[in-house]
A and B are shown apart, each in its own frame.
Chain A
Amino acid sequence: MISNEMEALIQQRQQKDEKKKKSQIPYAAAALIAAAILCLFFWKSNHIYAVYWVIGIGFGIALRYSRFCFAGAFRDPFLLGNTRLLRGLLIALMISTVGFAVIQNGYLKNNTIDYTNIPGCVTSVGLHTIIGAFIFGIGMTIAGGCASGVLMRMGEGHALPLFALLGFLIGTTLGAKDYPFWYDKIIKKASTIYFPEYMDLKVVVIIQLIILMCLYRLAVWYEEKR
């Protein structure tokens, strides 16, 4: 229950500070129409581009409306004791696990295992993963968000993510340039561990879902404990 003093303060502030908030829905409509026109244009030039466009927009809307943030999912549990974003992420991972499994199952029926061609992202694991992820983690926190967060905030009108974007352009270039060094020292000796190579895909799916659900329970317990 909000106290009377707070209520009074809020009212006072609203009278003083609340500028005329203009509805931006007409702009939203204009943007939607422009997006639809571009969609038709993409469809004409290359059907599949229209699919990428629509799904990209879908990602943007979902990220923004649910205030989703990968950086927050990783950071908030220990910073604020809040596991909301982590739980959202776990749900997304559970759904993706099932969906990707169906797709990979279809692929594996007709193809031998070739890591670069398996639908999804199957890549080597090793010291390079550890170093890369750690550097990424630091960068993501000091920049205020990861790559998806940068795109989302650009859509909100923030200027700061533009600097992060510039950083991305520089960083990915430097990373690509340095890649042969990492490859020779670490990556070429690293193995790829693709679980369905060791167990039946269905078993892998079940185990992974159980693990994700346990993590979810853990996240709920952790937040309630604080």
Chain B
Amino acid sequence: MKSITECLRKPWPYWVGGVLLGILNVMLLAVTGTAWQITSSFLLWAGGILEKFGLQPFKWDYFNYIMPEYKSIIANHNVFINQFSILNIGVIVGSLIATLLASEFKFKKIKGIKHAVFALIGGIMMGYGSRLTNGCTVGSFFDGIPSFSLHAWVFWIFVVLGAMAGTKILMKFLL
């Protein structure tokens, strides 16, 4: 019994993760025709929330330029429950299951306001940047490289440069 719990707690080597992510990514595209995306769902949720406040974000020009899949989701009023939301919630649930199997789950609070503000600003920057690149590290880069599109290689170079700049900022303010 003990050896099973030990087994469930051991982290997997990086190459196992790489193999699985690669296979799952391909399976997703092959079976559904949709490439893995994360931030698309966030935009739809945000739009859905704004709609509840009386705004009409889905009439913005943005939705005319991008992604035919958005159009049918918006037309059917599925902004909260759609393939992208299900993928995202699935990732959270999968991580939860894996954490519980390893008995490593714990509610972890926030250390301080400074950390929360940095996370918030970081999220805003990521959200904004992802609209320019038509996706985040997953939707634009991870799917873009195997799609043989140059944009993903450019993304790679500049996201690394951004990470370097971000690290300098981090060391200055949060260390």
Direct contact of A and B (CB under 8 A): yes
21 pairs from A and B in contact (CB 8 Å cutoff): A31-B97, A52-B28, A52-B86, A55-B90, A56-B90, A68-B14, A75-B160, A75-B163, A85-B14, A95-B18, A95-B22, A99-B29, A100-B29, A123-B140, A137-B164, A142-B119, A153-B95, A157-B99, A164-B123, A179-B62, A180-B62
- A49-B126 in contact (CB<8A): no
B126-169: contact bitstring with A at CB < 8 Å (1 yes, 0 no)? Answer: 11111111111111111111111111101111111111111101
| Set of chain B residues within 8 Å of A175, measured between Cβ atoms | 43, 127-132
- B21-A140 in contact (CB<8A): no
User: Quick one: which of A67, A103, A140 contacts B163, CB cutoff 8 A?
Assistant: A140
Residues of A in contact, count (CB < 8 Å)? 126
- B162-A28 in contact (CB<8A): no
- A88-B119 in contact (CB<8A): no
- B46-A170 in contact (CB<8A): yes
- B16-A171 in contact (CB<8A): no
B16-56: contact bitstring with A at CB < 8 Å (1 yes, 0 no)? Answer: 11111111111111111111101100110111011000000
- B90-A53 in contact (CB<8A): yes
- A194-B148 in contact (CB<8A): yes
**Separation of A138 and B106 alpha carbons in the complex (Å):** 28
- Using a CB–CB distance below 8 Å, which chain B residues touch chain A? 5, 8, 11-36, 38-39, 42-43, 45-47, 49-50, 57, 60-63, 65, 67-68, 83, 86-111, 115-152, 154-167, 169-170, 174
- B101-A143 in contact (CB<8A): no
- B87-A52 in contact (CB<8A): yes
Contact (A177, B133) CB under 8 Å given A25-B103, A64-B99, A155-B99: no
**Separation of A133 and B99 alpha carbons in the complex (Å):** 31
**Does residue A48 face the partner (Cβ distance < 8 Å to B)?**
yes
| Set of chain A residues within 8 Å of B46, measured between Cβ atoms | 169-170, 172-173
| Set of chain A residues within 8 Å of B166, measured between Cβ atoms | 75, 137-142
**Separation of A128 and B159 alpha carbons in the complex (Å):** 13
- A174-B152 in contact (CB<8A): no
- B142-A70 in contact (CB<8A): yes
- B159-A140 in contact (CB<8A): yes
Please name the 5 residue pairs, one residue from A and one from B, whose CB atoms are nearest each other, closest first.
Answer: A137-B162, A56-B90, A167-B123, A60-B94, A171-B127
Residue of B nearest to A149 (CB): B137
**Separation of A143 and B134 alpha carbons in the complex (Å):** 20
Residue of A nearest to B119 (CB): A163
**Does residue A193 face the partner (Cβ distance < 8 Å to B)?**
yes
- A139-B121 in contact (CB<8A): yes
Given contacts A134-B161, A146-B137, 13 further A-B contacts (CB under 8 A): A56-B88, A68-B17, A75-B167, A78-B167, A93-B145, A119-B29, A120-B143, A132-B133, A156-B106, A164-B123, A169-B49, A173-B57, A195-B148
| Set of chain B residues within 8 Å of A118, measured between Cβ atoms | 147
| Set of chain A residues within 8 Å of B91, measured between Cβ atoms | 56-57, 59-60, 63, 148, 151-152, 155
| Set of chain A residues within 8 Å of B31, measured between Cβ atoms | 48, 51, 55
User: Quick one: which of A25, A63, A68, A167 contacts B120, CB cutoff 8 A?
Assistant: A167
| Set of chain A residues within 8 Å of B8, measured between Cβ atoms | 25
**Separation of A70 and B145 alpha carbons in the complex (Å):** 14
> Nearest chain B CB to A130's CB is how many angstroms away?
5
